Each structure stands twice: as C-alpha cells, then as structure tokens.
Amino acid sequence: MGRKLLYLLIVGLFVSYYIYTPLPDNIEEPWKLTLISTSMKAFLHLASFAEFLGLRHFADLMMLTVAIEEVPPTSDENVTVTETKFDNVPVRVYVPKRKLDAQRRAVFFIHGGGWCSGSAALPNYDLLSRWTAERLDAVVISTNYRLAPKYHFPIQFEDVYNALRWFLRKTVLENYGVDPERICVSGDSAGGNLAAAVTQQLLGDPEVKTKVKIQALIYPALQPLDLHLPSYQENSHMPILSKSIMVRLWSEYFTTDRALEKAMLSNQHVPEESSHLFKSVNWSSLLPERFRKGHVYTNPTYGSSELSQKYPGFLDVRAAPLLADDNRLRGLPLTYVLTCQYDVLRDDGLMYVTRLRNAGVQVTHNHVEDGFHGAASFLQLKISHRTMNQYISWLKKNL
C-alpha cells in the first residue's frame, strides 16, 4: 500500500509539474488557458518525439490534427458557404443571404498556422468568417495555401497573392456583387504576415487596377531578422506560442534544414553584408518607451553568409514586410493592427505601427493588455469573443 501511494504521489507530482504553467495575474480564465496550453504542449512533445524517431515530420503531424478538426462548408439561415478555386488556389466563400440593392463590401481573409498548418475549414476560422459576413453584410473569401514542409517560401506567398489577384478582377467582383472600393485584406499570425506582404505587393503591380481599402493584421509575424526582441525575451515560455516554437515555424517556412533553426535560436543567422536591414527592425528606436523599459539594445551578432545564400527568403521583403522601405510603406491603405501583451510577436506589430505612422499611413492600433498569441482564435475563451467583436466592429465602421 505504501509503495502504491508513493507511485501515485510521484505520478501526481509529474502531472502537476507538466500541467503547471505560470501565467500573468491579469490573464482572464487562467484555468481554461492552462488546459488548452497543456493539450497543445502534449501534442507538440509527441510530435517532436515522433520526429526524433524518424516516423513523421513535426509539421506533417500538425496537419493531421487539422484534417481531423476541419468542418464542411455548411450554409445556414444567414450565410451561404461554398468552396471553389481562385487561380487554382482553394478558397471558401461566405455570402450573406439577405437581399441587398447596393454592392457589398468584402474581406479577403488568410488563416494562420505558422505557414505549415491551418485551414480555412477549421472551426474557429469558419465561425469568424460567418460572423464577419453576417455582421458586415460582406462577402468573405477565406483562402487556403500550400504548406510547409512540402512547400516553402515563396509558395505560400504566391498562392495567396494569386488568389487575391484573381478575386480583384473586375468580372469576379461583379459576379459576387462586391464594391471594388470597399475591400479589406486581413489575416492572423502567419496569415497576418501574408496579408501585409500581399498588400505591399499590390502597390507595385500595374496589372491590378483594384486596390484594397484596408489591411487588418491580427498579431502578425513580420520579420525573422531579430528574434531577441523584448517581446521574445519576456514571453519566451508563454503558452500557445513560445520562442522556440516560433523560431521553428520561421525556419520551416524557408527550409527543413535544422541548421537555420539553430542559427535563428542564437540570433546569429543574418550575415554582415545584410546589416543595413536591421535599421528597419531596430526596436530601440521603433518601440514605444514602455515596451523598451528594462531592456538594453545590443548590436547584432552576424552569422555566416552560407545560410542566407542557401535560403535567401528570410531576407526577402515578401517574407518580412517590416523590411519594406518608407517609399513602399507610404502607399499602403488604412491599417488595423491588433497586438497582445503576452505574445512573442507583439513587438513585430508595434514596430510596424510606428513605421507605418512615420510613413504617413493612418493606423488604428488595438493593444490587448491581457492578450496572448491566439487570443482571437480559441472560441471557448471570453477574450476571443471580445477581440473578434472589436475587430469586426472596427471593420463595420471603416470598411
């Protein structure tokens, strides 16, 4: 009996240690977040172990869970949902059923998932698209794109850009009854990265006559050059998205070569000949004072040129929209940026807000003080409904 009790105590201590996640005091519904975090952590550990054994790639296992969770394109009493392809890219289309004499506004949405996971058919994205279509009386295009590890940059960017260009054609807009002057491009996390990148790309595309009115970026990933920002330091072990996971996702976007991940983890992956790029991501001048407090900026430690020659994508503005020069930024449309205090990607969004405003772009910045990465995605949490209501309400007023 004593031995069984000892074993039970050891198991209990192990489970408690595994489940325990220190959270900031102002996090709402901490136990719900802890349970979500624990299930995700368990899956990531299993995926890493399977990869270590050579069974499956880490990202392949992530995609298996996505396939299990996907929901079919089901219409309801308010919204008609269909699936089609725009220039061979699969998209899900949401059209309100209520009759409207005038043309509708439109939202072109790009899901997140670290460029190697996610789908427009996941329940959270499906529900967000329904809410957006119904509350804005808008056509919503929720696009998919090919994913790592099978496909690397620039495939994800090109898929999204080609689908967007197709949608912006006059005949397509007319077919869906969309007002060409009321179009928004939006996305969250990696989708926010792609939304920012394709919106920039449109500026220099003479073949696209229709320009977007708004870009709306939800905790976007905007640069992989400096992965030692204050937000990475402060939130390196936060639930949902730790620094190590974010670095892995960035590296997988470009290659399955783990050498890039290793260099990124030590923040020594940018060669000296690319040192001029750091001025675009220099947090000591771009972050508001409250986010710099307690941190000292140090000059970058440069890496060898070998990685950047093999995988030049991580220095490409299409993968890192924060690298765009001021002339490129000046032409961007009205912008909404949502950042979360407890998110490794917080400072990417904050720096983009500063750079856009310095370039004369009108920006609405919504900083969620009790937010974390994915705060808008977990439908079982109150914070998700709050942040999505804020996002949709802003679009309703401005689009």
Known catalytic residues? Answer: 189, 343, 373
Contacts of 248 (CB under 8 A, 6+ apart): 58, 261
Strand order across the 178-188 sheet: 79-86, 89-96, 139-143, 104-110, 178-188, 214-218, 334-342, 363-372
What the block records as the tokens of 128 is 């967000």
Helix or strand (DSSP H, E) at 182: strand 178-188
What sign results for the dihedral spanned by CA atoms 326, 327, 330, 333?
negative
What the block records as the tokens of 362 is 């009108």
Class of residue 243 by CB neighbours under 10 A (exposed 0-12, middle 13-18, buried 19+) = buried
Torsion, CA 82, CA 399, CA 223, CA 370, rounded to 10: -100
Q: What are phi and psi of 79, to 5 degrees?
A: -135, 135
Phi-psi region for residue 326, left (φ > 0), alpha (ψ -120 to 50) or beta?
A: alpha
Contact status, residue 368 vs residue 387, Cβ threshold 8 Å = yes
